[in-house]
Structure 1
Amino acid sequence: MNNLRLNNKWVLVTGASSGLGQEMARQLATIHKANLIIAARRADKLEQLKADLEKAAGVQVKVVVADLSTTEGADHVVAESLATGELYGAILNAGVTYFGRHSKLEWTQFEAILKTNVIGVVRMTNALVKHFEESKQEGGLMLVSSMSGFFPVPYQTAYSATKAFINAFGNALHNELTNPNFSITVFAPGGIATEMTHGDEFGELRGWLMPVKQAAKEGIHAFVSRKFNYIPGLMNRVGKVFMNFLPSRFIGSKMSKVYLKSLLKFEQK
């Protein structure tokens, strides 16, 4: 299967108002010269990004304001993206986390994590896959997951569980595709230095976080080259291979100590 050719093609990026989504949108526009459909809840952030990219990269940018924790929001983004029939690719990046003791996670907050990270992603994926399967158009879809979906992270218990679902869902669905010109990639980074990980509770963990520009660059590489599963960062990839040979209980215990140390420092402030 040939690599995706993004020049002057329309690509959807969700969660584009900040962090990894925003940086991927910037690189897609400035380096790959892709036209963008950028989606998130914060209209002001999206409009500023649109203005920046149209001026700096000379591409077209369409803003879609939507809450992707709702089926209405997910459907709205897909409808706007497919309206012209020119959508070439999509990066479903929007996601939320919770770092803390699972016993203190409110049910409404858990539902928001589940709806954004799983239900919204599946809702959009179903519609996008149907479009590309029926039209037989060339294109690609990338689901942004996490290494925590492979190795569950204590104190990010609910988040890890949602990402484990996305890993399994994306990899399995990839093997059901019938359109030889369409691909699904699962991108599973470790921690990234973004707005999501800027809180004080992540203080002890910041040394482990990958710069967002590097993560975005590797994510777009995975997308363009149609990787099945891709983890950015050589040490992360080596670490995953190494951890496959260790008991999962042992890994969880070690990670628990590291994350709890950071959480306790935050709680003591």
Structure 2
Amino acid sequence: MSLPPPTPRNRAVVTGASSGIGAALAEQLAARGYSLVLVARRQDRLRELATRLSTTHRVEAEAYPCDLGDRDARAKLAGELAARDIAVLCNNAGFATYGLLSTLDPKRERSQVELDVVAVHELTLAVLPGMLARKAGAILITGSTAGNQPGPNNTTYAASKAFANTFAESLRAELAGTGVSCTLLAPGPVQTEFTRVAEVPAVDRLVPGALWVSAETVARQAVAGLAEDRRRVVPGLFAKVQTLGGLYSPRWISAALLRAVYRRVT
């Protein structure tokens, strides 16, 4: 089905909402009349966004500061969401690391898996029973074109997005006929703070500027895809080419090519 209609009681949840795609998703949903639960670590940015969206779109916007990489904090959030009427869940929070896996900080790699994989899984499990009981709900999972092929020197991120991509499309097929939908958002290069958080700003130079898409474009297409009950949303020409290459070229070729590319910036 399409997006459930917004009501005074239900909410759209957006994780990673303090910047980039998450903030843009929140804007798109608020413009459609959804009241929001905005989740991220940065309290000041969340509160600023919540205030602006409430004022501009006349919706309720709750700022919920939470480190989704922390198991206890995540469990608390999941428990609260399970008890609420959640119409839309945007599992968007995530980060990447670059470099030889053997040289990277094991704690940070573990945190990446907790955020990019475990949090997606747990929050989906938290809201899904309620959605099924109401026979209405929409789940958006932010995967990546990186999840379509091996990613040497970007190993944990590529693996985590392979999980997100497959999880989203598997869940979608499982939910057929229930009134609940799941859409995969699989962008390529997007103009956000992503590479700064990854601490590898040189990644920005790998792709010509004209091939990057804005967070606003990604969010607009993602929410339209949810409304149209689309299986997968791939914003931008470059991302579409990446997707075709990742899905249909021999994986050893993709692995060798990406290994050569990422070695230049790590």
- The TM-score normalised by the length of structure 2 is 0.89
Query: What CA deviation, in whole Å up to 9, does each residue of 1:36-86 have, x standing for no partner?
Result: 110111111111111111122221101111111123222322333354x43
| Corresponding residue for residue 140 of structure 1 | 138
| Corresponding residue for residue 77 of structure 1 | 77
| Corresponding residue for residue 201 of structure 2 | 200
Partner SS state of residue 264, structure 2:
helix
Is 1:156 matched up with 2:154?
yes
Is 1:186 matched up with 2:196?
no
Query: What CA deviation, in whole Å up to 9, does each residue of 1:1-37 have, x standing for no partner?
Result: 34544576520001101111111112222x3222111
After superposition, residues 67-146 of structure 1 pair within 5 angstroms as 67-83=67-83, 85-133=84-132, 135-146=133-144
| Corresponding residue for residue 16 of structure 1 | 17
Would the aligned equivalents of 2:87 and 2:131 in 1 still touch at CA under 8 Å?
no
Q: 1:74 to 1:224 in 2, by over 3 A?
A: farther
Partner SS state of residue 185, structure 1:
strand
Picking from 223, 240, 243, the partner of 1:240 is 243
| Structure 2 residues without counterparts, runs of 5 or longer | none
CA distance in 2 between counterparts of 1:63 and 1:80 reads 14
CA distance in 2 between counterparts of 1:100 and 1:7 reads 46
- Residue 220 of structure 2 aligns with an amino acid whose one-letter code is K
Is 1:32 matched up with 2:32?
yes
| Corresponding residue for residue 43 of structure 2 | 43
Q: 1:136 to 1:28 in 2, by over 3 A?
A: closer
CA distance in 2 between counterparts of 1:74 and 1:223 reads 25
Would the aligned equivalents of 1:39 and 1:77 in 2 still touch at CA under 8 Å?
no
- The TM-score normalised by the length of structure 1 is 0.88
Would the aligned equivalents of 1:66 and 1:76 in 2 still touch at CA under 8 Å?
no
Query: What CA deviation, in whole Å up to 9, does each residue of 1:123-160 have, x standing for no partner?
Result: 11112112222x13311111111111112322211100
| Corresponding residue for residue 212 of structure 1 | 215
- Residue 113 of structure 1 aligns with an amino acid whose one-letter code is Q
CA distance in 1 between counterparts of 2:222 and 2:182 reads 13
CA distance in 2 between counterparts of 1:7 and 1:15 reads 23
CA displacement at 1:201 relative to structure 2: 2.9
- Residue 61 of structure 2 aligns with an amino acid whose one-letter code is V
CA displacement at 1:109 relative to structure 2: 1.0
CA distance in 2 between counterparts of 1:164 and 1:242 reads 15
Which has the larger displacement, 225-234 or 160-169? 225-234
Detail structure 1 runs of 4+ shifted over 4 Å in the superposition. Answer: 6-9
Would the aligned equivalents of 1:99 and 1:201 in 2 still touch at CA under 8 Å?
no
Which has the larger displacement, 225-234 or 105-114? 225-234
- Residue 190 of structure 1 aligns with an amino acid whose one-letter code is G
CA distance in 1 between counterparts of 2:25 and 2:42 reads 17
After superposition, residues 252-267 of structure 1 pair within 5 angstroms as 252-263=255-266
Give aligned pairs, total: 260
CA distance in 1 between counterparts of 2:213 and 2:254 reads 21
CA RMSD of aligned residues (A): 2.1
